[in-house]
Chains A and B, each alone.
Chain A
């Protein structure tokens, strides 16, 4: 399974869980899986066109998916996905 670390702002939607697991696939498919389990989560993460918002950063095993294959980045068993708000630091 793939592990997804949930940021505090989304935990309420995810039943208070800090980490949830999804099946391997792509980042985009992982978001869809989350959406089916936790209603409303896709609207938080994605814009109306279904693309991840600019205010959301997604990392796979500590690498920003914008340096990988964006939402098509593959996820294999054991991968760790982190969802981080973009507006921090500096």
Chain B
């Protein structure tokens, strides 16, 4: 393959290995298997060293040889390198020796991990000459496509379930994107988008651009390794909607070994779902390597995918690494959000509550050992799903601007302080 494709070699079917040109296409013509980008790892190994990475700006693009664009990225150049926070207070509450939060709730520019995948998908869409980009989304992806398309001067059509949280709807509309609310759940949005993608020549980031798009998630894994001091955590807990993020963080760990950036080691990938939409965790707990599709019913709308595209592959990764999956109820999701907020000052969206809640369960069950290190992937910001917490976090106490009224209030809370 020519130099003009950067470090990419071809698109390759994950099932049969047939190769395809590096175009906007996502499934194998022969068995409908998913296409994945194949790289020239030998060349990457020669050019991507720790010193090279460290010399570059702190964004996801410091690992650009391992990301599927041919030239320099043109969309979302500032995305990524979010904080990896040592969460000692939460560690104590959950009963684990070492705990870290990978905080994509503050990813740039739209406060979710989706800016990673969109940055790659739109940069590649520009390379392939597209003018209109689109997506099927549970909300965060719509926000990111709308914002990044606006910044890049591309037209955007984003398709979402019509009952999404208001914050996620406004956060797509404000950028001037065409926001289409579908009267149905995400799986129905997704089916419609597959049909639209087959008819119109647009870059659908998670349909025909999916082989490139999905690779953007790997950057979360690269950053975790680098920020931990070039080591892989023993346990990584990842929320699962389609299951793609879990497989890509795992792939990131594998690739850093493959290109010689770290020594070979072992780790476990664990998956988190909401009980109201748990096709993957139910299958994992039952020891199955396939899942049964479900109709979602959960406050974790960003994870409400009843037919997860990477369900099969995420089950495979958990099995291969010795990881586990579990799921939590709506009340446990809210408790998880509160725990993270009260212990670490991080307000995550519902998917974050799922991740914290499941981590708590896995630690309590000994599936994540108390004497080990774990990273929790927090993928979105709590300000986008305010509805889920409204009425569950207490209420403001109102007083007149009077010192006497304040002291009456304080006397109720802390009598000793006022008496002194």
Q: Which residues of A contact B (CB under 8 A)?
A: 5, 7-10, 12, 18, 44-45, 53-57, 59, 62, 64, 66-67, 82, 84-90
What is the minimal beta-carbon distance from B209 to any residue of chain A, in angstroms?
10
User: A12 to B186, alpha carbons, bound, how many Å?
Assistant: 30
With known contacts A55-B27, A66-B293, A84–B194 Cβ distance under 8 A: yes
The chain B residue sitting closest to A59, CB to CB, is B191
Q: Nearest Cβ in chain A — how far from B88, in angstroms? A: 33
The reply to whether the CB of B243 lies closer than 8 angstroms to some CB of chain A is yes
In the complex the two chains form, what is the Cα distance from A54 to B14 in whole Å?
Answer: 13
Interface residue from A7, A55, A62, A88 paired with B193 (Cβ < 8 Å): A88
Residue B190 lies at the interface, judged by CB distance under 8 Å to chain A: yes
B contact patch SS: loop
Q: In the docked arrangement, what's the CA distance between A45 and B375, Å?
A: 40
Tell me the minimal C-beta distance from B114 to chain A in angstroms: 10
Which listed residue, A44, A55, A88, touches B15 by the CB 8 Å rule? Answer: A55
Q: In the complex, are the beta carbons of B191 and A9 less than 8 A apart?
A: no
B136, B194, B206: which contacts A85 (Cβ < 8 A)?
A: B194
User: Smallest CB–CB gap between B157 and chain A, Å?
Assistant: 15
B198 touches A8 (CB 8 A): yes
Give min CB distance, B308 to chain A, whole Å: 7
B97 CB → nearest A CB, Å: 33
Nearest chain A CB to B317's CB is how many angstroms away? 15
Which of B28-36, B68-76, B353-361 forms part of the interface with chain A? Answer: B28-36
Other-chain contact of B191, A12, A18, A55, A84 (Cβ < 8 Å): A84
> Quick check: is B223 within 8 A (CB to CB) of the other chain?
no
> Is the Cβ of B198 less than 8 Å from the Cβ of A88?
no
A50 to chain B, nearest CB (A): 15
Once A85-B26, A85-B194 are accepted as A-B contacts, the answer to whether A62 and B293 lie under 8 Å apart by CB is no
A64 to B308 Cα, complex, angstroms: 13
With a cutoff of 8 Å between Cβ atoms, the chain B residues found around residue A10 in the complex are 29
The contact of B210 among A5, A66, A87, by CB within 8 Å, is A87
Give the top 3 A-B pairs by smallest Cβ distance, nearest first: A90-B242, A87-B34, A55-B32
Instruction: Name which residue of chain B comes closest to A5, CB basis.
Output: B195
Bound Cα distance from A10 to B207, whole angstroms = 16
- For the complex, is B188 an interface residue (Cβ under 8 Å from A)? yes
* Complex: A88 Cα to B305 Cα, angstroms: 11
Determine whether the beta carbon of A89 is less than 8 Å from that of B309. yes
Contacts of B295 in A (CB 8 A): 67
Within 8 Å of chain A (Cβ to Cβ): is B312?
Answer: yes
With A53-B32, A54-B290, A82-B195 as known contacts, state yes or no: A88 contacts B187, CB within 8 Å: no
Q: Mostly helix, strand, loop or mixed at chain A's interface?
A: mixed
Known: A88-B26, A90-B242. A57 touches B15 (CB 8 A): no
Output the nearest chain A residue to B34 by Cβ-Cβ distance: A87
Per-residue CB contact flags for chain B residues 242-254 toward chain A (1 = under 8 Å, else 0) read 1110000000000
Which residues of the partner chain A approach B136 to less than 8 Å between Cβ atoms?
88-89
Task: Check if B385 is an interface residue, CB within 8 A of chain A.
Answer: no
Q: Mark B293-322, 1 if CB is under 8 A from A, else 0.
A: 101000000000101111010000000000
Q: How many Å lie between the Cα of A87 and that of B199 in the bound state?
A: 18
Is A90 within 8 A of B195, CB to CB? no
Cβ-defined contact, A87 with B33, below 8 A: yes
29 contacts between A and B (CB under 8 A): A9-B29, A9-B32, A18-B199, A44-B29, A44-B30, A53-B32, A56-B32, A57-B191, A59-B191, A62-B188, A62-B191, A64-B307, A66-B292, A66-B293, A84-B195, A85-B26, A86-B32, A87-B32, A87-B210, A88-B190, A88-B207, A89-B190, A89-B193, A89-B242, A90-B206, A90-B214, A90-B242, A90-B305, A90-B308
Q: Is the CB of B206 within 8 A of A88?
A: yes
Residue of A nearest to B291 (CB): A54
Inter-chain CA distance A12–B15, complex, in Å, is: 21
The reply on B241 being an interface residue by CB < 8 A is yes
Q: Given the interface contacts A82-B191, A88-B26, A90-B244, does A7 sit within 8 Å of B198 by beta carbon?
A: yes
Provide the B312-353 mask, 1 if CB < 8 A to any CB of A, else 0: 100000000000000000000000000000000000000000
Task: Give the docked Cα–Cα distance between A36 and B391 (Å).
Answer: 60
> How far is A59 from B187 in the complex, measured between Cα atoms in Å?
11
Residues of A within 8 A of B293 (CB): 64, 66-67
* B191 pairs with A86, CB closer than 8 A: no
